[in-house]
Structure 1
Amino acid sequence: MTAVLPEKYTVRPPTTEDARTILELVSAYNTSVIGFADWTLDDAVDGLTDESFDPARDGWLVFEGDRPAGFGWVAGKGDRRQLDQDVVADDLALERWLLDRVEERARELGREYGQSVVQLDAVAYQADTARRDRLAGYGYARGTVFHRMRIVHDGPVAAPEVPAGVTVRRGTPDEASRRAAHGVLNAAFDGQFGFTPRSFEEWQASQENHSAFDWSQLTLLEVDGEAVAMLAANDQFVEDEDCGYVGRLAVLEKARGRGLAKFLLRDQFAVDAANGRAGTILHVDTNNPTPALGVYLSVGMQAVLVMEVWRLEVAV
């Protein structure tokens, strides 16, 4: 049975002018669970302006009188078989209503893109046992676990030696180099949990919408003129953590075992330390089919936060 919105609430689509209101809602929840906001105003604006998100159809901002009481959204990439969502509400009846809106919109997106089933993913902090239990009660199942990894920079970090036979290209100012990075990313992450291949145009638009990113922060590694590895860094965690962030690290299967991932990580550590950052952060899927977690631990990174992805299969 579909939940009914309690009469005390009103709802409307969000706009970019609501970014600070949404930030306050999300930050209050995050702080109640993990002790800090873990979100910024730029994060809120980026989400509302991403090309994959249609505010009029994909978001719901709820008020009790003038007081913001809840927010929910759903969005997908590529073929929309896998969709991401989040719901924040201070009332369980409102939470259920928002989740119903998310599932209803997920079915619509599935039909629009010719899917018979879509996978709806929600991220929960592992510390929030109550929310995890509720998601399980709503029919979600735990899909994977992500660790937020961090390394602290107490001073300058020496740049690593470039592996033999490897050419390092810093920045991707032209379309050809961006297409090369996009190709490495799609090939290296193919089949991994939650990853949806995107067209070059969609991926490029998303990168350019991200306020913390610019193309100078993308590094390519080439062997014999072919791009075989990439690292895309950004400033997402500079404002709140004073840390650089590795958004994506990808190495083609045929180029693995040569130390390219470790080189790219140590290279980024040196860049972040030279820029005065207190550390470097990244996220890793602990069920990754590659030995990614071991690589990050081997270069001195440590887990500082644990998040779980809960998945619901929605028949279209």
Structure 2
Amino acid sequence: MNDLLTVRPAGPSDAEDICGLLNAVDLIEIGRPETDLAEVNADLHHPDMDLARDSWLAFEGGRLVAYAMAWADSGPGRVDCHHYALPGHRAAAVRLLELVEVRAREFADGAPGASLRLQLNVEPTLDRDVLPGRGYRTVRRYQVMTRALDPAEAPPTPPAGLTLRPCDGDEAERRRAHALIEETFAEHFGHVDRPYEPWLDHIDGRGLDWSLVWIATLPELGDVGVMLTRDDRTSMGWVGHLGVAKAARGRGVGGFLLRHGFGAYAARGRSTMGLGVDTANETGALALYEAHGMEVHYAVDTWELTL
């Protein structure tokens, strides 16, 4: 006889249990735990998150076996969600999907072309037939790529005339970094144009070390590149955004920013640098990262359900 399935909303006090569940999934899917408690807390404390309506925990026999969360800050008709479940707990996984889909339709409110998206490892703990059986289809693949750092990483030589500055000064510099990210990512699949304040909440930017965010400038073009990194992950330093303006692409700006990040994080004692990349990115980002020694750590698929 199966253990009784119970479902309730998540609360801030559940953060450690949720983190443990996510790390158990990590261990199965990628071979090691890589979820930090700070990431979970950032989700649970997001100012726009109504945990009572938009989050779910599933328990079997008192054990947390699945977790889901839904949000709709990506524009009209677009709903996103987290969904994690331990293998062998299909009923719990399906029940949380049902609840997410109901909430997603409430969020969408009949908007034309409305959709729900979630990302799952290409070798997921969720039974492979569940999502296709509910009408989901894969629309994109992303790779998490990593590179080992040498403590003696040499500082890179910048392209002629290029200068680099950190964004740890006044708020105007942070707003400039935001504007550059919006400009350079505008045509990327899934990008959401967010004003500055909602963007800060989305990236958990209020606690970000802004000395690890850099803007690249060329004399004839002005600010042409931006790289936002973060050093708050246990497993590795992380490049959240690396963007180069169209007018400056092909001039070595992206490669220089990447190598600068390698050197900066090696100097901070980090042994690994990581980032995520859309494998179909039309700017050639995947080739850039491969050319600089980054290799696939794991891959995830974006699944979409038309609402």
Query: Matches of residues 117-266 of structure 1 in structure 2 within 5 Å?
Result: 117-128=113-124, 131-208=127-204, 213-224=208-219, 226-237=222-233, 239=234, 241=235, 243-266=236-259
Distance 1:29 1:158, change over 3 A: same
Q: Distance in 2 between matches of 1:222 and 1:132?
A: 47
CA pair 25-80 structure 1, distance change in 2 beyond 3 A = farther
Structure 1 contact 168–219 (Cα < 8 Å) conserved: yes
Unaligned runs of 5+ in 1: 1-5
Whether the aligned pair in 1 keeps the contact of 2:119 and 2:302 (CA below 8 Å) is: yes
* Equivalent residue, structure 2, for 1:101: 99
Question: How far, CA to CA, are the matches of 1:308 and 1:222 in structure 2?
Answer: 35
Misfit runs of 4+, over 6 Å: none
Cα gap change, 1:100 to 1:57, in 2 (>3 Å): same
**Take 1:120 and 1:173, find their aligned partners in 2: how far apart are those partners?**
38
Task: Please say if residues 150 and 280 of structure 1, whose CA atoms lie closer than 8 Å, have aligned partners that are also in contact.
Answer: yes
- Work out the CA distance in 1 between the residues paired with 2:72 and 2:232: 21
CA RMSD after TM alignment: 2.2
Aligned partner of residue 151 in structure 1, secondary structure: strand
How far, CA to CA, are the matches of 1:27 and 1:278 in structure 2? 21
Superposed displacement of residue 20, structure 1: 0.7
Give the SS at the match of 2:151: coil
Closer/same/farther in 2, CA of residues 76 and 30 from structure 1, 3 Å limit: same
Partner of residue 92, structure 1:
90
Tell me, in whole angstroms, the C-alpha distance in 1 between the residues paired with 2:225 and 2:251. 11
Match of 2:5 among 9, 12, 29: 9
Cα 1:249–1:118, aligned 2, differ >3 Å: closer, same or farther? Answer: same
> Residue by residue, what CA displacement relative to the aligned partner does 1:147-182 show, whole Å, maximum 9, x if unpaired?
111111132111112222323111243222122111
Is 1:32 aligned to residue 28 of structure 2? yes
Counterpart residue number, 1:3: none
Deviation at 1:48?
Answer: 1.0
Q: Report which stretch shifted further, 260-269 or 130-139.
A: 130-139
Alignment of 1:42-81 (within 5 A): 42-64=38-60, 66-81=62-77
Q: 3-state DSSP class of the match of 2:188? A: coil
Gap change, CA 1:223 and 1:266, over 3 Å in 2: same
- Report the CA distance shift for 1:89/1:160 in structure 2 as closer, same or farther (over 3 A): closer
Provide TM-score, normalisation by structure 2: 0.90
Cα distance between partner residues in 2 of 1:27 and 1:235:
19
Gapped runs of 5+ residues in structure 2?
none
1:294 maps to what in 2? 287
SS at match of 1:289: coil
2:255 maps to 1:281: no
Distance 2:205 2:167 in 1: 17
Change (3 A) 1:127 1:248: same
CA contact (8 A) 2:165 2:214 kept: yes
Distance 2:264 2:205 in 1: 23
Q: Which amino acid aligns with 2:297?
A: V
Residues 124 and 131 of structure 1 are in contact (CA less than 8 Å); yes or no, is this contact kept in structure 2? no
Does the 8 Å contact 1:51/1:206 carry over to 2?
A: no
Query: Secondary structure of 1:117's match?
Result: coil
Contact 2:146 2:296 in 1 (8 A): yes
Shift of 1:267: 0.3
1:195-249 deviation digits (Å, cap 9, x = unpaired): 11111111123344575x3222110112347322110000243x1x2x2110111
Structure 1 pair 156–131 and aligned structure 2 pair: CA distance change class (3 A):
farther
3-state DSSP class of the match of 1:164?
Answer: coil
